[in-house]
Amino acid sequence: MPLSAPPPSYAAAVERYLTGAGIAKPSARIYRISLTTWGWMLRGEPTPTGPARRGAKPAPFELAGVDDPALPPVLAELAAPRADEMDADTVNRELSIARKAIGWWQAQGWIEADPTIGIERRPAPPDLTKALSKPQITALWQLDPSVREKTFWKLLYESAARADEILCLNIEELFPADKRGRVVSKGGAIEWIHWQSGTAQLLPRLIAGRTHGPLFLTDRKAPDRTPALDICPVTGRARLSYRRAEEISEKSTRLLANPLARPEAVGELEGWTLHRLRHSALPHDAEDGTSTPMLLARSRHASARSLERYARPGVDAVVQHVASRDPAARRRG
């Protein structure tokens, strides 16, 4: 017997899962996006892409439809082309989120089957080129975006925090005099992040007299049914979403990421993702001699092993190291 009454729809089941499973708020945003994406495929429909995806939601359907014995092969067929278009890390993360939600629904007695059973994780060899070089970071600061983007990018890099943690920040959680803020981390713990003068100089312009509410806002009024915690009480605008922030970052940096491309081909290019700023801050700290204990404290990783992928010296540092030990260069000197 179900432990509680089944929710009336898949969308309601998603919200019940995010609340009942205790998913931290920063993670809940990513989980909700992923589970909304699965909503189309669980209905046997392809997920919309491009501009059609923004703000779109799958048509309502009952969670019991997940138990349809004909669904697994259909789901595998729909998931394959999407997996071919996305990077392996994203595909595996979305699959993991779906399986966690399905397992929780099964534990409640709402469904019995796991329709993702035939979908395999994609091999994801590490990409050791994600860290931007220091000259690339300098080029990023020379762009002329809005104050919101400029502050967001500076705060991401200077704090080495995750983008979803920063987007969940409220103004009342900032301590400007100490150059630090209080965030809810990936595991739900409440932790400090720290920033430098670049962010400190931009924050007053971004806040513009506001005293509470979301730090980073959209350009428009919040749509109906937006949670009150995600609405600015002064402007009525909504909290900036991860998806929108990622779109702006990727579009703004396409020419920086592809320096030999023609400007007229910008629409076909891919720019830098937000996570690359975290991937860059920690290696730069390591190159400057920051100790492992300090890198662990700054990144807020639980172990040195999980820090390894971030704290590798960047390509420019390796080039300088090799060049400085070149015997021919020493003789010329």
Q: Output 189 or 10, whichever has higher pLDDT.
A: 10
Contact (Cβ atoms closer than 8 angstroms) between residue 79 and residue 90: no
Question: Same structural domain for residues 101 and 141?
Answer: no
Mean of the pLDDT values across residues 135-144? 94
pLDDT of residue 225: 84
Question: Same structural domain for residues 161 and 241?
Answer: yes
275 half-sphere exposure, CB direction, 13 A CA radius: 10
249 part of a folded domain: yes
Question: Same structural domain for residues 250 and 151?
Answer: yes
Question: Same structural domain for residues 256 and 296?
Answer: yes
331 part of a folded domain: no
Tally of structural domains, the chain: 2
Residue 148's CATH number: 1.10.443.10
pLDDT of residue 1: 46
Gap between the Cα atoms of 299 and 268, Å rounded: 34
Question: Same structural domain for residues 151 and 66?
Answer: no
Environment class of 35 (CB within 10 Å of its CB; exposed 0-12, middle 13-18, buried 19+): buried
117 part of a folded domain: no
Q: What is the pLDDT of residues 223-258, one digit of tens each?
A: 888 889 999 999 999 999 988 999 999 999 999 999
44: containing domain: 10-107
* Per-residue tokens: 293: 């204990």
Question: Same structural domain for residues 67 and 24?
Answer: yes
- Predicted confidence band at 27 (pLDDT cuts at 50, 70, 90)? confident
- Predicted confidence band at 331 (pLDDT cuts at 50, 70, 90)? low
Question: Same structural domain for residues 170 and 308?
Answer: yes
Residues 6+ away with beta carbon under 8 Å from 84: none
Residues 6+ away with beta carbon under 8 Å from 213: 170, 171, 231, 232, 233, 234
168 part of a folded domain: yes
Q: What is the pLDDT of residues 254-288, one digit of tens each?
A: 999 998 888 777 777 889 989 888 888 888 888 88
Helical spans, DSSP H, in the chain: 10-20, 25-42, 71-85, 88-107, 134-141, 147-159, 163-167, 197-207, 242-252, 254-257, 275-287, 292-299, 304-307, 315-324, 327-332
Q: What is the pLDDT of residues 52-89, one digit of tens each?
A: 677 778 888 999 999 999 999 999 998 888 888 777 87
Question: Same structural domain for residues 228 and 175?
Answer: yes
Average pLDDT score over the chain: 86
123 part of a folded domain: no
Question: Same structural domain for residues 102 and 152?
Answer: no
128 part of a folded domain: no
Task: Please name the residue that has the structure tokens 């995600």.
Answer: 230
Question: Same structural domain for residues 264 and 313?
Answer: yes
